[in-house]
Amino acid sequence: MTTRMSRFLQVLFFGAFLIFVAAIIWTAESDHRQTRTDEPSYGEFMQKVEAGDVREVTLYVSSGAYELDGEYSRPMNRRFHLAVFKEAAPDITRQLREKGVLIKVKESPVGKSWLGLIVVAVPILLLVGFFILLERRLRQDVGGSRALTIRTGIGYDLHRLEAGRKLIVGGIELEFDKGPAGHSDGDVVAHALCDALLGAAGLGDIGTHFPDTDPKWKGADSMIFLQHARKLLDEKKLAIGHVDAVVILERPKLGPHFPKMREALGRALGVEPAKIHLKAKTNEGVDAVGRGEAIAAYVVATLVAR
C-alpha cells in the first residue's frame, strides 16, 4: 500500500466515522425534540393525574423500583418519565384507573437499553480501533520510506586530456583534437555516474568493481560499467529515481550534444532519458581544467526502492 493510498483511506474512514457519530447524535437529538420528555416529581405527577392531564402510562416492573413512562393529554405531544418506589405503585395504579388512564405493564427495559447501547457502541469501537491501526501502519510506512526507500550517492571523476585520444563524454564520441587519458575510454560522466549509483546502493566504487590494474578493462566502453551497476541495483531491488550531472570542460561546447548523451546513458541504465539531467560548466581558465588540460564531472544520483 502506497503512502498516498494509505492517507486516502485514512481520510475516508475518518470521514465515515465522523458521519456515523454525527448521524447518531442527530438521531438522538431529533428523538429528544420529538418526544420532549418531562421528569416530574411525584407530587407534580399526581397533580397531573388529579387534573386528568395523563392520557396513558406504561409501568415498567423491576425488583427495587417501578418506572412510569407515558404521555400527557395536556399539553399534547409531551411525554413524561417517573421512577417510584415499589410500595407506591398500587396506589398510583388505582388512581390512574379511577381517572380512566390506559395502563400497560411491561418488564423493565434496562436490559434492552444496555443491548441497544452495545449495538451502537460496538461499530464505533471497531471503527476507532481500525483507524488507530491504520494510523500506526501509516506511520510505519512513512518512517520506513524515509529510512530505506530513498538513497542518494555522489560521484566525481577527472581525466587529463591528451592528443590522439578520443573524446568520449556521456557515452558518445565528440569531434575534438584531445581525449581523456585513462585505462578505459575515460568517460568522466559515466565513471562519476557509476560511482554515484554504487555509493547510493552501498556497493563500493567503480575501482572496486573495475580496477585499472585489470587488463580486461583496458580501453573498455564505460557503458559496460553502467550496465553492471544497473544489474547490481536490480539485485538490491533499487531503481534510479533521478540523476543530475555537471561536466566541467573548456572546449568543445557540450550543450548541443546533451540529448544524445542522455539517450546513451538511459539505454545503458535501462531508464528513460527524462531521469537524466546534464549541465556543462567551464572553469573560467582556472587550474588544469581551465587551461584545457583536463575534464571533470560531478554526479548526484537518487535511488528508490522497488
Domain at 206, CATH number: 3.30.1330.50
| CB-based contact 254:175 (threshold 8 Å) | no
Q: Show which of 87, 112, 146 is a domain's final residue.
A: 146
| 133 and 156 inside one domain | no
CB 234 within 8 A of CB 156: no
Tell me, what's the pLDDT at 42? Answer: 81
**Using N-to-C axis directions, what is the helix angle for 188-201 and 258-269, rounded to 10°?**
40
Question: For the chain, how many structural domains are there in total?
Answer: 2
Q: Do 215 and 209 form a contact (C-beta atoms < 8 A)?
A: no
- DSSP classification of residue 281: E
Amino acid 158: pLDDT? 96
The parts of the chain modelled with pLDDT lower than 70 are 1-36, 63-64, 108-122, 135, 138-148
Instruction: For residue 219, give its domain range.
Output: 151-305
* pTM for the model: 0.55
Q: Do 59 and 157 belong together in one domain?
A: no
Whole-number pLDDT of residue 111: 47
State the pLDDT at residue 241: 95
| 3-state secondary structure at position 291 | coil
Q: Looking at residue 33, what is its pLDDT?
A: 46
Which of 113, 146, 179 is the C-terminal boundary of a domain?
A: 146
pLDDT in the model for residue 272: 96
Handedness of CA 184, 186, 190, 196 (dihedral sign): positive
Average pLDDT, the chain: 83
Are both 109 and 167 inside the same structural domain?
no
- One domain for residues 167 and 281: yes
Asked if residue 173 and residue 140 are part of one domain, the reply reads: no
In Å, what is the CA distance from 199 to each residue of 204, 245, 297?
6, 15, 16
- 160 and 271, same domain (yes or no): yes
Cell numbers for 190, please give them: 559515466
Residues 46, 77 share a domain = yes
Same-domain status, 201 and 88: no
